Amino acid sequence: MKIFLHNLEATHRSLFHLTTNQSTPTTNKQQQTIMATFTSGETKSNQITLIGLGNPLLDISANVGQDVFDKYGVLPGNAILAEDKHQPLYKELVDGYPVEYIAGGATQNSIRVAQWMLQDTHPGISAYAGCIGKDEFGAALQDAASGAGVKCLYQVSEDKPTGTCAVLIQDAERSLVANLAAAEQFKLAHWSEPAQQAAINSASIFYMASFFLTHSTDSAELIGKHCSENGKIFCVNLAAPFLVDFFGTQLDTIMPHVDFLFGNETEAASLAKAKGWVNAAGEPVSTAECARLAARAPKANGSRPRVVVFTQGSESTCVACCENLVVYPVEALARELLIDTNGAGDAFVGGFLSQLVQGKELSECVRAGHFSARIIIQRSGCTMPAKSDFK
């Protein structure tokens, strides 16, 4: 089995000429006890600045026919959690198709891409937290993160295997079916351990894809509150339509703490529908208008407005803050150069974060996001060359 390993101060600068500013039950007392160990932090050279929290998964990637999509009821460009009917899929791929094993998980992809972009100028400033199993796949994920210069803050499950994700590829489009396994065993108490406390106190930017909310809303809320109370930046990705549709309550819990909200046009439409943001015909408002409305939603930390970044594939990226909206075009890529869209959104966020941690202007953050996404879609899976030539 060959496993492909990814090589993958909070900014208070002007943005739009403005100063920016189903989970295991837990008690407020538990959160308060852990938060008492955190500090506001001070970013220093070679210390952790960026932390991701998410579901570490090993991707099992294969090119398949429409029959497999139909058999398991999955759609191109979508991401879902595995149900009982999807369990045979993983064995079917391994037994019947040439597969690639690629270290993944949405948030982990983004953090690796960010560190890949930063490897020469800011080595070792990224960390990632999640839960893996005590097995070969977990060891591979840990090797991938460490090899990319990302500090591992893994919790290790003794009784659950490392999570996997079936990546079904057809004509450069993909569908993801995630079996979380150990990933959903992440516990709030993990943050109270010394290594995690030190990283949290050091970091100034935190990033999470909303997949984490399917089991660890308490941890997400803990980090969100820490950011709001200490002037740090909390970034969240809508990640998939089903998360907006079925985990809206969890999203609402953390949204007041969100400083940067990411998503794509499909997820934006789901958010607009869920919030009742519809036009005269009863259809969801445009991606741009949804970004404006999401940017104006209440925030716990009023010292800076929320920035909403919605990608629209090869068309453009909409960025909203307060009443301002900027649309950034995407450079066209020849169809024959497109290999795999898996991880394009994750890579965009990684590129964006690589500039955000350096206090760059928003336009530079978007340009870096477009650059990294363009690299990814010309390769199989979320993998990168050894070096980034972003300038």
The residues annotated with a catalytic role in the active site are 346
Sheet containing 3-4, strands listed edge to edge, beginning at the edge strand earlier in sequence: 3-4, 100-104, 57-63, 163-170, 173-179, 79-81
Q: Quick one: which H or E segment has residue 107?
A: helix 106-118
Rounded Cα–Cα distance for residues 345 and 311 (Å): 8
**CB 294 within 8 Å of CB 237:** no
Burial class of residue 391 (count of CB atoms within 10 Å of its CB; 0-12, 13-18, 19+): exposed
Quickly tell me which residue has 């969890």 as its tokens: 250
Q: Give the count of beta carbons closer than 10 Å to the beta carbon of residue 294.
A: 23
Burial class of residue 258 (count of CB atoms within 10 Å of its CB; 0-12, 13-18, 19+): buried
**First and final CA of the chain: distance in angstroms?**
36
Per-residue CA distances from 338 to 39, 173, 181, 294, 341 (Å): 45, 10, 32, 32, 8
**CB 216 within 8 Å of CB 129:** no
Burial class of residue 75 (count of CB atoms within 10 Å of its CB; 0-12, 13-18, 19+): exposed
Reduced to 3 states (helix: H, G, I; strand: E, B; else coil), residue 311 is: strand
